[in-house]
Amino acid sequence: MATQDQVQLIAYADRLGGDLRGLAGFLRREEVAGAFGGVHVLPFYTPFDGADAGFDPIDHTAVDPRLGTWDDVRELARTHDVMVDLIVNHVSADSAAFLDVVARGDASPWAPMFLTMSSVFPDGAREEELARIYRPRPGLPFTAIRLGDRLRYVWTTFTPQQIDVDVTSELGREYLTSILDAAAGAGVRLVRLDAVGYAVKTPGTTCFMTPETFDFIADFAAQARERGVDLLVEVHSYYRRQVEIAREVDLVYDFALPPLVLHALYTGDGTALVDWLRERPRNAVTVLDTHDGIGVIDVGPDQTVAPGEAERPGLLTPEQIDALVEGIHERTGGASARATGAAASNLDLYQVNSTFYDALGRDDARYLAARSIQLFTPGIAQVYYVGLLAGQNDVELLERTGVGRDVNRHHYTTAEVDAALATPLVQRLLALCRFRSTFPAFDGDVDTALDGSRLTMERRGAEVPDAVARLEVDLASGAGSLHWSDGAAPETVVDLAGFVPEDVVVPVRR
């Protein structure tokens, strides 16, 4: 099967097998083999356990020695396509370069690499210019830090521990190129540009996904392709902007899919979901869950509309979004409410923190239906490690760290992994992933139909037109069935909630 037709796992290097070698061992286990063609390894740089779980690197070119080496990444790439994060927007406040700027101010050779308010607004900023800056958290994106002998407003889009880089400076460009070279040299073939929408700051704009941002992405994509690397752009934004972004880049996330699937399975109404399935970009990575929360901004109205401009409605109405969020809180017994927003030091305005399994009330039938919808949606399907193991909200970890997203970032012991892999639900999910990764019906487009609450999705192979797979889901009840034929045998039909893994072992034609 082509790479884009195979399912990928999303995982931290340390939370399934302890380190990079342990992660490779998990992917090569007999129970897991054949389900995944690739893996997105979440940040393993120094330090992987910093203030933002690796997204605040001190040294972005070095593998944290507690997790392994670039040779271990190269070994993983021997059997699986590897995707890694390239954190273009910022570095840790504890990085050697920024600490030198703290000590020496403008006398530091590294000073041009970091953004301050005055470097973006050299003539000062009017109130309306500052108010227009788009930020995913409350307040302005500045932190007062003494640099040398002066107190400066340093640009910190996310937290005071994450210092924004001037990606247009010579030092910034050299820094990002060095990371790209390290990843490509280890056999990485896909790079995720984390928070790239905020990377370029242009006075008088929202400083989010501006024309200058698109230019930066295009230039960086050209560098990546020279090294045999494709780019996945990570942006939470208004859905029409995602469609626009998709025209300019290799891959985008389909962040609208998770809330739309939940809305459909909560209400039995698949209208918004089907409308999106017909409009969404095809060069997308599909997810239901990631290391972050379940996004709602991706289905809501445009948040960057300037005063006086016409509102741009979302895929769901504000009332539907409110009902969705309350539905998650209700089904998780309030755990998601405790893990979301200021209550858990997690001020992302667009995310609800919960495992996807808990967001569906731990309903196995609806969970398999949701995953099947994801797997039948065109694009590269990625399954988060907690979602793969049907993980429940880790309230104990949340209470220990006070970090909302930790509720969906469980550290699995070997015994817990073994126990999860032995459950019928996880075995069925692995069988569905294996079916998606091996059956040659998923390189074509999808035909989608909605009859009342009954959703039908059909995929037909482009290279093997006789290969057909069809999913039928009653959104009201969560009941679903899988139908397929390779053209040489009668159609096979299985009940999603009752099949055994052997039911989806089918003749594979490559």
Burial 368-391 (b: 16+ CB within 10 A, else e): bbbbbbbbbbbbbbbbbbbbbbbb
Catalytic residues: 194, 234
Rounded-to-integer distance, Cα 184 and Cα 60, Å: 14
Mark out the alpha helices in 344-503 (DSSP H runs).
356-359, 364-376, 385-388, 395-401, 414-421, 424-438
User: Taking the CB of residue 302, how many other CB atoms lie within 10 A of it?
Assistant: 17
- In the chain, what is the straight-line distance between the N-terminal and C-terminal CA atoms, in Å? 6
Q: Which two three-digit tokens encode residue 44?
A: 């393993």
Rg (CA), the chain: 23
Nearest of 162, 138, 135, 154 to residue 54 by alpha carbon:
162
Rounded-to-integer distance, Cα 412 and Cα 134, Å: 37
Burial 216-252 (b: 16+ CB within 10 A, else e): bbeebbebbeeeebbbbbbbbbbbebbeebbeebbbb
3-state secondary structure of 383: strand
| Angle (CA) 134 137 141, round 5° | 60
- The CA distances from residue 38 to 4, 77, 385, 458, in Å, are 10, 8, 13, 24
User: Taking the CB of residue 64, how many other CB atoms lie within 10 A of it?
Assistant: 23
